[in-house]
Amino acid sequence: MLPFTVKAFAKINLGLLLTGKRHDGYHTLETIFAPIKWYDTIEFTGSDHISMSCSNIDLPVDDNNLCIRAARSLQQFAGTRKGVAMKLQKQVPFGAGLGGGSSDAATVLRVLNERWQVNVSPVELHALAVKLGADVPYFLSMKGLAYAQGIGDELDDLGLTLPYYIVTVFPEEHIATAWAYRNFYPRFDRQLPDLKKLVSELCLVGKKEGLSAFENDFELAVFDHFPAVRHVKLSLLEAGCVFASLSGSGSAVFALFQQEEQALAAMKRLPEAYRKNLTPPDFSMEH
């Protein structure tokens, strides 16, 4: 296998509604996944063993790493002895609610299934992805907007893209997903909005009135404990965005803008130390 490099794009959640808790402890949810042009890169090289290195020394490169776990799970399922050496250039912040680790894992599954020529079916790959993490299936098979339910693994490709500039900001706070699930304020008994209908109206006819329904159920608890995150959202709203919200379990916040000039001006309002990203309208992932 000659060395080659692949981009692993991140995502935001347009709405994240926690709807209940299963007997196994997992929470059920509804959300709209949307890709953003913020990505890690992974270089793959043929090897007799599975190994990896990472540009970020804070991330483990042992069997706790999702990329290693993805490669091993495919190797074991396919019954192959082929290996790979991976170099992860980490750009997407972790603890941000952007799915960077999940995207990396999905990229490893997809690339190695092809390069190892083990021909694991899409259904079997999906099952491997679910075991790695609830967001992994989205990155494995989708390119644009997708509606998700279950624990995030039941996906419906909407065939849509967001017609907005997306500003994504990481306020240098790392929030563990486990912390967010322990501390959010449950509202399981409310009437749920039709996220699929609302996002279709937003993307196809520009109907913005339904945007307020795209709530993130982690947001209030995160804002209460991490005031810097709340400040980012307020700053983006003051800059004239159409909509702003926490992504995933945080701490990244995103905003939708109609004009590129507005989006760039909003990014300049925020502290220079915060990492920021601008995604163009109608962006979709390259697979």
What residues are annotated to the active site? 11, 135
Residue 250, Ramachandran bin (φ over 0: left; ψ between -120 and 50: alpha; else beta): left
Q: Are 58 and 36 in contact (CB under 8 A)?
A: no
Beta strands in 26-118 (DSSP E): 27-47, 50-54, 83-89
Instruction: Report the distance separating Cα 151 and Cα 135, nearest Å.
Output: 9
Beta bridge partners of 111: none
For 126, counting Cβ atoms within 10 Å of its Cβ (0-12 exposed, 13-18 middle, 19+ buried), the class is middle
| Rounded Cα gap, residues 245 and 224, in angstroms | 15
Q: How many helices (H) and strands (E) does the chain have?
A: 9, 10
Tell me if 182 sits within 8 A of 221, measured CB to CB: no
| End-to-end CA gap in the chain | 19
Q: Residue 143's CB: how many other CB atoms inside 10 A?
A: 16
Contact 239, 265 (CB under 8 A): yes
- Cα 31 to chain centroid, rounded: 11
4 CB-side CA count, 13 A: 8
